Chains A and B, each alone.
Chain A
Amino acid sequence: MPQIFRRTFIAGLATLALGGMATAQTAAPTDTSIVVASTTSTQDSGLFDHLLPIFTAKTGIAVKVVAQGTGQALDTGRRGDADVVFVHAKAAEEKFLGEGFSKVRKPVMYNDFVLIGPKADPAGVAGTKDIAAALGAIVAKKAPFVSRGDRSGTHMAELALWKTAGVDLEKARGEWYREIGQGMGAALNTASAMNAYVLADRGTWLNFKNRGDLRISVEGDKRLFNQYGVMVVNPDKFPHVKAKEAQIFVDWLTGPDGQKAIADYKIGGEQLFFPNADQPGA
């Protein structure tokens, strides 16, 4: 056995490993980049694919989006693993602020939630406007309902709506209520497969392709309002946070250019998100 072969073989493996490790590390864009922890709704609706190229072209800052549920995205910020959080659950965002993980929260845009349901409409709520009454009817009929169950903004909104409807979920819970613990798209897929009702943000619904027998059952109730906010993670807590670039992103998003880009995002002529950074208290 020629020793040289053996050595080449082992040296080759080692080189491959080290070389691969090096390329894997340098695969990052050479210019600056920030990590934005955001929600599945902003990703699954296609909004980021529309916004980010415009922002990056203008500023040279690459934005790496990690799409999670709102609760998880805020936790990613709490661990210092993101530079910016961009989510939709105001109460949870204010808690994040209160804990000192960010200094300022800015409103960005809103859209609305819609109650999606099967064509057969077992709860008889299609076309109505009162979300509380509709949820009450679903409980009364024990019609199948898919819940995100993942502490996302949509999940928190759903829980608040049950409360508004005067439904004690712990008591009413049964076979009909299915918590899947997954993202918006997965919840819609599940609802589509079992012909269930599901609360969704309009953006994800419009961009969703596997609708089957599902359609919008209830929309237009004021209580279905869905506000998005953005925060830079506090660099005093995490010195590695790229505060400067993060602030440029937040300023762009809430400034005239970003707000216009948000308003310009449409699917089939329908606008998905409505910019409202200038609305006080939003």
Chain B
Amino acid sequence: MDEAVVSTFGFGLSDPALANLLQIVGLSLRVTLTALALAAVIGLPLGALIGISRFPGRKAVIIVVNALMGLPPVVVGLVVYLTLSRSGPLGALGLLFTPAAMVVAQTILIVPIVVALSRQTIEDLWGELGEHLRSLGLTDVAAVPTLLWEGRFALATALLAGFGRASAEVGSVIIVGGNIAGFTRTMTTTITLETSKGDLPLALALGGILICLTIALNAGAFAISRVGARHAG
């Protein structure tokens, strides 16, 4: 059993097993980073707009978005499953049990996080810079790109929170991806599978790799934002 742990960390790991592991890690990162990029494109402008605009029912919208940060992955998975199933409304796309389906599910999961956290950041920034930007003749909507740029380092935290949520969840991807070997098997679904096979040391080792990857990515983002902040002066 200890062999499994050792081999998983790459010592004396056979070529196919290593290739298999790298493929799983690669797929996990590709799916999660794609979902994150989509969530950023959708969530950052939306969060900024909610942050700076005033409209009736705005408080209710904020409460709903904040609540959606806690969307249960398994519910998102089920809804996406029913939507993408051949018998569902978008069945013709044939996306169920593909990586694209997992991207869709994870994007839905993390958009509320990006919206909620960026809304807060932009609202604060708008309080500081709003008058200045208005004096430059920018309308509220035209100010959104500037605000996003000014708040980029704080917004990176919102994106990291989204990344953490997406990379850690298993509930939605296992339903919409189907945990197909070599195709939709991610780190977390592999951990689920190995646990069910009773290969607990291997499952634990994979969990270790997942945590290390998350730490590495966060450290990288932290370093970039520090360097960036210094240059931005």
Residues of chain A at the chain B interface (Cβ within 8 Å)? 1, 5-6, 9-10, 13-14, 16-17, 20-21, 23-25, 27-29, 35, 40, 43-44, 48-49, 64-67, 79-81, 182-186, 188-189, 192, 207-211, 238, 240
- What's the minimum C-beta distance from A35 to chain B, rounded to whole angstroms? 6
Contacts of A186 in B (CB 8 A): 195-196
- What's the minimum C-beta distance from A64 to chain B, rounded to whole angstroms? 4
Q: Which of B34, B196, B199 contacts A24 (CB 8 A)?
A: B34
- What's the minimum C-beta distance from B202 to chain A, rounded to whole angstroms? 9
- What's the minimum C-beta distance from B46 to chain A, rounded to whole angstroms? 13
Q: Which of B94, B98, B100, B152 contacts A240 (CB 8 A)?
A: B94
Q: Which of A1, A10, A65 contacts B180 (CB 8 A)?
A: A65
- Considering only CB atoms, which chain B residue lies closest to A208 in the complex? B198
A185, B195: Cβ atoms under 8 Å?
yes
B86, A64: Cβ atoms under 8 Å?
no
Residues of chain B at the chain A interface (Cβ within 8 Å)? 1, 27, 30-31, 33-34, 37-38, 40-41, 44, 85-88, 91, 94, 96-100, 102-103, 145-146, 148-150, 152, 178-181, 183-184, 193, 195-200
| CA gap between A1 and B85 in the complex, in Å | 47
Q: Which of A21, A27, A44 contacts B196 (CB 8 A)?
A: A44
B40, A17: Cβ atoms under 8 Å?
yes
Q: Which of B33, B94, B180 contacts A66 (CB 8 A)?
A: B180
B150, A1: Cβ atoms under 8 Å?
yes
Assess A64 versus B196: contact at CB under 8 Å? Given A13-B40, A17-B38. no
- What's the minimum C-beta distance from B27 to chain A, rounded to whole angstroms? 7
A208, B197: Cβ atoms under 8 Å?
yes
Q: Which of B40, B87, B180 contacts A64 (CB 8 A)?
A: B180
Contacts of A28 in B (CB 8 A): 98, 183
A185, B196: Cβ atoms under 8 Å?
yes
B86, A189: Cβ atoms under 8 Å?
no
- Considering only CB atoms, which chain A residue lies closest to B180 in the complex? A64
B30, A24: Cβ atoms under 8 Å?
yes
18 contacts across the A-B interface (CB closer than 8 A): A1-B150, A6-B146, A16-B33, A17-B38, A17-B40, A21-B100, A23-B30, A24-B30, A24-B102, A27-B99, A28-B183, A49-B181, A64-B97, A64-B184, A185-B197, A185-B198, A189-B195, A210-B198
Contacts of A48 in B (CB 8 A): 181
B198, A211: Cβ atoms under 8 Å?
yes
Contacts of B40 in A (CB 8 A): 13, 17
B195, A79: Cβ atoms under 8 Å?
no
- What's the minimum C-beta distance from B114 to chain A, rounded to whole angstroms? 11
Contacts of A1 in B (CB 8 A): 146, 149-150
- What's the minimum C-beta distance from A96 to chain B, rounded to whole angstroms? 15
- Considering only CB atoms, which chain A residue lies closest to B32 in the complex? A20
- What's the minimum C-beta distance from B142 to chain A, rounded to whole angstroms? 12
B100, A24: Cβ atoms under 8 Å?
yes
- What's the minimum C-beta distance from B225 to chain A, rounded to whole angstroms? 14
